[in-house]
Amino acid sequence: MSLRAHITGAPGSGKTTIGYAIAKQLRVPHIDADRFAWEETDPPSRQKIELNRRREMIDREIRRNDSWVLSGSIHYCVNLGDIILDW
């Protein structure tokens, strides 16, 4: 049986913290959507990852496992409506 959950909410609301805790409790991978939004820059969060690359990155990560907990507001990462039915 696969389990898939998406924890979403406002910035700073604890999405990543609760997502990690739930994934740990359920013993499934935790996927943090913030990893797919921004290029690694110094200082951080200055350059968004190009949209098609973001889509490819999150799609690849999600397909890697049957079960997962995804945390974050991925609306800024991908157009969720484009790929959600494939998950």
- For 63-80, write each residue's pLDDT tens digit: 899 999 999 876 655 555
Specify the DSSP class assigned to residue 48. Answer: B
Query: Side-chain half-sphere of 59: how many Cα atoms within 13 Å?
Result: 15
C-alpha 48/C-alpha 15 separation (Å) is: 20
Give residue 40's domain range: 4-86
CATH number for the domain spanning 36: value is 3.40.50.300
Confidence band, pLDDT 50/70/90 cuts, at residue 8: confident
Number of domains within the chain: 1
C-alpha 71/C-alpha 55 separation (Å) is: 16
C-alpha 32/C-alpha 74 separation (Å) is: 9
What's the predicted TM-score (pTM) here?
0.77
Among the listed residues 52, 61, 51, the one whose alpha carbon sits nearest the alpha carbon of residue 4: 61
- For 23-82, write each residue's pLDDT tens digit: 999 999 999 988 888 888 999 888 888 888 888 888 888 889 999 999 987 665 555 545
